[in-house]
Amino acid sequence: MTRIAVLDDYAQVAAASADWDALDAEVVFFADHPADEDALAERLAGFDVLCLMRERTALPASLITRLPALRLVVTTGMRNASVDQRALAARGIPFAGTGGVSFATAELTWGLILALLRHLPAEAAAMRAGGWQTTVGRELRGRTLGILGLGNLGAAVAQVGLAFGCEVVAWSENLADERAAEVGVRRVEREELFRTSDILSIHLILSRRTRGLVGADELGLMRQGAVLVNTSRGPIVDEAALVAALRSRRIAGAALDVFDTEPLPAHHVLRTLDNVVLTPHLGYVTEETFRDFYPQTVEDIAAWMAGDPIRLIDPPH
C-alpha cells in the first residue's frame, strides 16, 4: 500500500480539510517539526509520497538521497524554494503543487501594522492584568507607507494604505513607474524608500537577489520612529542587524510573521524585545487557504496513482 506523509500540520487540520480516504493509502499526519536531518530521514524513510506545506520542512539533496522509497513530492502552492528540485529530477521523482490564490497575508499585514502602532499586544495584556490605557499609539493618516515589492500582495497592502490616508511609495528592482501608477502609488528609488518610510512593509519572494536585502545599511537609512513589517520571508532581512536596530531603538519597532528559523526557537532573542510584535507565520493560515491546499494535494496524489497528468512545478532555470 502507498504510504503518504503529511508534514508540518501544526494546527492539526489537514485530516479534516480533504478526503484522504479516497486515496486508498496509508496517510500519516505529523504536527511536529524535527529540525535534525537524521531524525527526519529516519521518520520519512518508508514513505512513498511527501506532502509539504510550503517552506516549512526543507528537502535538500542530502535528505532526498536518504529516502529510498520516495516516489512523489507534493507541495502547497506552485513554488517551494526549500526543495532541491534538481535532486528530485535526478531520481525521476515528480514534484507537484497546488493552486490557491490567497490575500490572507495582506490582511495579516494590516493586523500587524495596527497592532504595532497601537500597542495592541501590550494593551491587551495590561487589560487582563487589571490595567487601563498604558501606552500612546500613533495614527496612520498622513504617514508614509513604503512597499518593498509591489506584486499582488504588496499592491493589496498598498491599496489599504491609501484608504487609510497614507502616502504610499514603492520600490523593487524591476518595478516600473507604470506598474506603480496602476496601483495608485509612487515609485521611488531604493534609498528613498528606506529614508522616507514611516512603515516599511516587505512583500518580496526569497531568492539569491533578495536574501539579506534589508541589512544594517538599509536599517541605518530608516527614520528613528519608523517601523518594519515582514510577512514575506525571514531571510530577506538580516536578522542580527534587525535585532541590533531594535535593541538600540535605531528604529521604533518591528512586526514579524516570518523568521530565519521556523518554528522560532523558544529562547530566541526576538521573543525578549518589547518593541516587536511576533506571530508564528500565520500569513496564509486560514480555513479558506487550507480548503484550497489540501484537497488539491489529494487530487495530485490521486492523479499520480492513476497515471494521469498532475500539476508539475516548472524546473528551476
Give yes or no: 233 in active site. yes
Give yes or no: 190 in active site. no
Q: How many CB atoms lie within 10 A of CB 188?
A: 19
Q: Supply the DSSP symbol for 86.
A: H
Give the sheet arrangement for strand 276-278, strand by strand: 186-187, 167-171, 144-148, 199-202, 227-230, 253-256, 276-278
Give yes or no: 211 in active site. no
Beta carbons of 175 and 188 less than 8 angstroms apart? no
Residue appearing with cell numbers 487582563: 128
Catalytic residue of the set 56, 119, 233, 299: 233
Catalytic residue of the set 178, 262, 268, 311: 262
Residues 52, 66: Cα–Cα separation, whole Å: 17
Beta carbons of 282 and 115 less than 8 angstroms apart? no
Residues 281, 112: Cα–Cα separation, whole Å: 12
Beta carbons of 62 and 84 less than 8 angstroms apart? no
Catalytic residue of the set 268, 281, 291, 311: 281
Amino acid at residue number 189: E
Long-range contacts at 177-185 (CB < 8 A, ≥ 24 apart): 179/150, 180/150, 183/150, 183/155, 183/158, 183/159, 184/158, 184/159, 185/147, 185/150, 185/158
Amino acid at residue number 281: H
Catalytic positions, written as ranges: 233, 262, 281
